[in-house]
Amino acid sequence: MANLEYVGNYINGEWRLPVDREVFNSVNPSTSEVLGAIVLSNSTDVDEAVSAAKQSFRAWRLVPAPKRADYLWLLAERVQERRDELAKLMTLEMGKVISESYGEVDVVIQFCKYMAGEGRRMYGQTVPAGSPDRMIMTVREPVGVVACITPWNFPLSLAAYKMCTALVAGNSIVWKPASDVALCAKLFTEIIDSCDLPAGVINTVFGSGSTVGSQLAEHPDVSVIVFTGSTEVGKKLAKQAGYHLKRIALELGGKNAVIVLADADLDLAAAGIVRSAYATSGQRCTAASRVIVEASVQQALEQRIVALTRKLQIGNGLDADVHVGSLANNSQLATVQRYVKIAQDEGGHILCGGHRLVMEPWQTQGLYYSPTVITDVQRHHRIAQEEVFGPVLAIITAQDYEDAVAINNESVYGLSSSIYTNSLHYANRAARDLESGLVYINNGTSNAEIGLAFGGLKQSGNGHREVAYQAFDVMTEWKTVYTNY
Ligand code: NAP
Ligand code: MG
């Protein structure tokens, strides 16, 4: 491992190796090749990063927002210049197919531009004053140091959503990326560094979530925590934030469902279901993991889903012909295997998939799992209730529209739901009745766009939204100003 790349932290505008020398390997899940290693940080490193961010905040908050936004335009250009490098590294490091990686890089570029536009908006209010010769208004003000804690499934976009919003609002940032995608995070940080932001405005600290992430949440000088990841960790962070009276925005899991009514276009529905079930190997918070179908069309729909699923090419995501890449790490593979077994023990029947795939010979170490469809799932089964985060689809029978909506809403999660129907009546009722932050009509469960609030109800989050200006609600304070003239 002579050429192994060691990744240190980026603090106050410079790269520093942490004081400890314990390392974590970043592994290509398609080949099990070690790509690089991060040096794990400890509390001293976290203190240094937070201190740099706190220091830089004093001047950064006074930079006019349109000028702060100029850095985001520049970042968009720099990301565009290194688009190929970023996309390839993403596929190497976490296994998603290269077309998806390019899609993610493009989202980052678009989001930088969208948020740069907010530099000239971030509207407050002016309202008529009740007293004479008086002006009254509200303005948004930055809060301070924002800790961004991000997962491995979208290594760049989930970080960009948080950091660009924090930045244009005038906050400074400490980013703790997921260790599994440390090299992506390092490359993105290098690109950020090339934009010549004032030192300390963005700092990147590598290390495990249970140490670095937790220390950030406890740190007295961190004012805001924005997190995407598991519900379990989200709850821990919410407890810590609550105790210290910090602001926190949580983007958590889902058990997303596609409802298919008897009048639906079944070909369209099957295509949408398969796309949203198996993109990123099902490792998306918005992945479809339940199909709730009216009994009269269940068999016809299942046939179509299985036929499309069997056509999917599984393999190394760098191969342009591959539709579904590997899982991201061993723990994901183990979880998928465990849940497929649980589903069978509960009485579910596998229509296709249901096993690990061993590829020919150069890919034998890859973490491939065949896209899996399970039928005869009952609404109370664990496979119908718990997030798998893998390429596993559970099919549940509904008696009618009301029953389908009730099954959808029985989940503790409420991120994304979809309905296929040609009825204007049922489509509009579904938009009203589905307990989800995102509702799609005649589309799968994951196809969100920049500029609209993204986030979930119930245990999919804590009421905050990102990917749009609504994210300012956690990233800024309202100040009300009264001027008597
Ligand atoms: P996770 O443990 O919640 O990790 C997400 C991020 O939080 C990573 O940066 C992680 O760091 C960090 N973290 C872990 N424990 C922490 C703690 N105690 N305090 C602060 N930060 C902490 O998620 P995961 O292990 O990567 O995936 C497990 C499950 O989470 C998945 O199976 C899925 O159900 C869910 N998940 C959801 C999303 C989503 O988009 N909503 C994304 C990814 C995962 P390290 O990994 O470096 O330790
Ligand atoms: Mg990896």
**Ligand 1: nearest atom to the Cα of 335:** 32
Ligand 1 atom with the smallest distance to the CA of 286 is: 40
Please write the tens of the pLDDT for every residue from 88-98.
Answer: 999 999 999 99
How do strand 476-484 and strand 5-7 relate by DSSP bridges?
unpaired
- What is the distance in A from the centroid of ligand 1 to the CA of 285? 12
- Evaluate: CB of 152 within 6 angstroms of ligand 1: yes
> How buried is 70 (Cβ within 10 angstroms: 0-12 exposed, 13-18 middle, 19+ buried)?
middle
Active site residue 251: yes
Tokens describing residue 142: 């930055």
pLDDT band for 230, please (50, 70, 90 cuts): very high
Which residues does 381 contact at the CB level (< 8 Å), separation at least 6?
343, 346, 347, 348, 394
Ligand 1 test: best mutation among 230, 243, 251, 415, most atoms within 8 Å of CB? 230
285 is catalytic: yes
Average pLDDT over residues 49-67: 98
Catalytically annotated residue among 148, 184, 285, 294: 285
Q: What is the DSSP letter of 364?
A: T
State both tokens at 178.
């997921």
| pLDDT score at 3 | 58
In the predicted model, what is the mean pLDDT of residues 331-352?
98
Spell out the long-range contacts of 183-187 with Cβ–Cβ below 8 A and sequence spacing 24 or more: 183/5, 183/7, 183/26, 183/35, 183/36, 183/89, 183/92, 183/93, 184/86, 184/89, 184/90, 184/93, 184/94, 184/155, 184/156, 185/155, 185/159, 186/7, 186/36, 187/82, 187/85, 187/86, 187/89
Q: Measured in angstroms, how far is the CA atom of residue 180 from the centroid of ligand 2?
A: 4
pLDDT tier at 279, thresholds 50, 70, 90: very high
Which residues, 6 or more positions from 296, have their beta carbon under 8 angstroms from its beta carbon? 262
State the average pLDDT for the chain: 96
pLDDT digits (tens, 9 = 90+) for 309-323: 999 999 999 999 999
CA dist 356 and 370 (Å) reads 6
Ligand 2 ion: nearby residues, β-carbon < 5 Å: 27, 93, 180
Name the pLDDT band for 358 (thresholds 50, 70, 90). Answer: confident
| Cβ partners under 8 Å of residue 389, min gap 6 | 253, 282, 283, 287, 332, 335, 336
- CA 376 – ligand 2 centroid, Å: 34
Q: Residue 363 pLDDT more than 70?
A: no
Q: What is the pLDDT of residue 145?
A: 99
Q: Which of 48, 118, 251, 466 is catalytic?
A: 251
- Euclidean distance between CA atoms 23 and 29, whole angstroms: 18
Q: What is the pLDDT of residue 17?
A: 86
19: pLDDT confidence band, cut at 50, 70 and 90?
confident
Give the model confidence (pLDDT) of 163-197 as tens digits: 999 999 999 999 999 999 999 999 999 999 999 99
All domains in the chain, ordered by first residue: 5-252+461-484 (3.40.605.10), 256-449 (3.40.309.10)
Q: Tell me how far the alpha carbon of residue 82 is from its chain's centroid.
A: 22
The Cβ of residue 462 has, within 10 Å, a number of other Cβ atoms equal to: 19
Give the number of whichever ligand sits closest to the CA of residue 281: 1
Closest Cα to atom 42, ligand 1: which residue?
Answer: 229
Q: What confidence tier does 384 reach under pLDDT thresholds 50, 70, 90?
A: very high
Mean pLDDT on 464-468: 98
Q: Is the separation of the CB atoms in 41 and 207 below 8 Å?
A: yes
Closest Cα partner for 408 from 424, 394, 388, 422? 394
- Separation of CA 316 and ligand 2 centre (Å): 13
Which 3 state secondary structure label does DSSP give 71? helix
Reply yes or no on whether the pLDDT at 200 is more than 70: yes
pLDDT at 1: 43
pLDDT at 149 over 50: yes
DSSP, collapsed to helix, strand or coil, labels residue 397 as strand
| Among 358, 383, 377, residue whose Cα is nearest residue 369 | 358
151 lines ligand 1 (CB under 6 A): yes
